[in-house]
Amino acid sequence: MTPHLLLTLPVAVPLATLALCALLQGRPAWQRGVSLLGSAGLLLACLLLLRGVLDGTVLATQFGAWAAPFGISFVADLFGAAMVVITGLMAVVVSVYALARGAKERERAWFHPLYHGLLLGVTGAFLTGDIFNLYVWFEIMLISSFGLLVQGGTREQLDAGVKYVVLNLLVTTLFLMGVGFLYGLTGTLNMADLSLALPQVENQGLVSALAVLFLLAFGAKAAVFPLFFWLPAAYHTASAPVVAIFAALLTKVGVYAILRCFTLVFAHTQDFIGPIVGVLAALTMVTGVLGAAAHYDVRRILSFHIVSQIGYMLVGLAVATPLAIAGAILYVLHHIVVKANLFLIAGVIRAAGGSYDLKRIGGLHRSAPLLALLFVVPALSLAGLPPLSGFWAKFVVIRSSLEAGHVALAVVALMVGVLTLYSMLKIWNEAFWKAPGPLSQRAAGEWRAAGPARVALLAPIGALAAITLTIGLWAEPFVHFSQRAAGQMLGHTAYVQAVLGPAHPGLAGTPTPAGELP
Q: What is the pLDDT of residues 359-418, one digit of tens each?
A: 999 989 888 999 999 999 999 999 999 999 999 999 999 999 999 999 999 999 999 999
Q: Alpha-carbon Rg of the chain, whole angstroms?
A: 22
Closest CA to 418 of 308, 268, 255: 308
Domain boundaries of the chain, sorted by first residue: 3-504
Closest CA to 295 of 409, 474, 429, 423: 423
Handedness of CA 397, 246, 288, 387 (dihedral sign): negative
Handedness of CA 378, 243, 88, 513 (dihedral sign): negative
Handedness of CA 414, 415, 416, 422 (dihedral sign): positive
Distance CA 139, CA 145 (A): 10
Closest CA to 347 of 106, 114, 107: 106
Distance CA 1, CA 110 (A): 34
Residue 277 has a pLDDT of 96
- Give pLDDT tens digits for 433-486: 988 888 888 888 888 877 777 888 999 999 999 999 999 999 999 999 999 999
Distance CA 225, CA 480 (A): 31
Distance CA 499, CA 413 (A): 37
Distance CA 390, CA 335 (A): 8
Handedness of CA 509, 514, 516, 517 (dihedral sign): negative
Distance CA 349, CA 475 (A): 30
Please list, in sequence order, all residues whose beta carbon lies within 8 angstroms of the beta carbon of residue 160, skipping any fewer than 6 positions away: 149, 150, 233, 234, 236, 237, 238
Helices of type H across 187-239: 191-197, 204-222, 230-234
For residue 68, the number of C-alpha atoms closer than 13 Å in the C-beta half-sphere is 25
The parts of the chain modelled with pLDDT lower than 50 are 509-518
H or E stretch at 460? helix 452-473
Residue 437 has a pLDDT of 84
Work out the number of other CB atoms within 10 angstroms of the CB of residue 416: 25
The model's pTM: 0.94
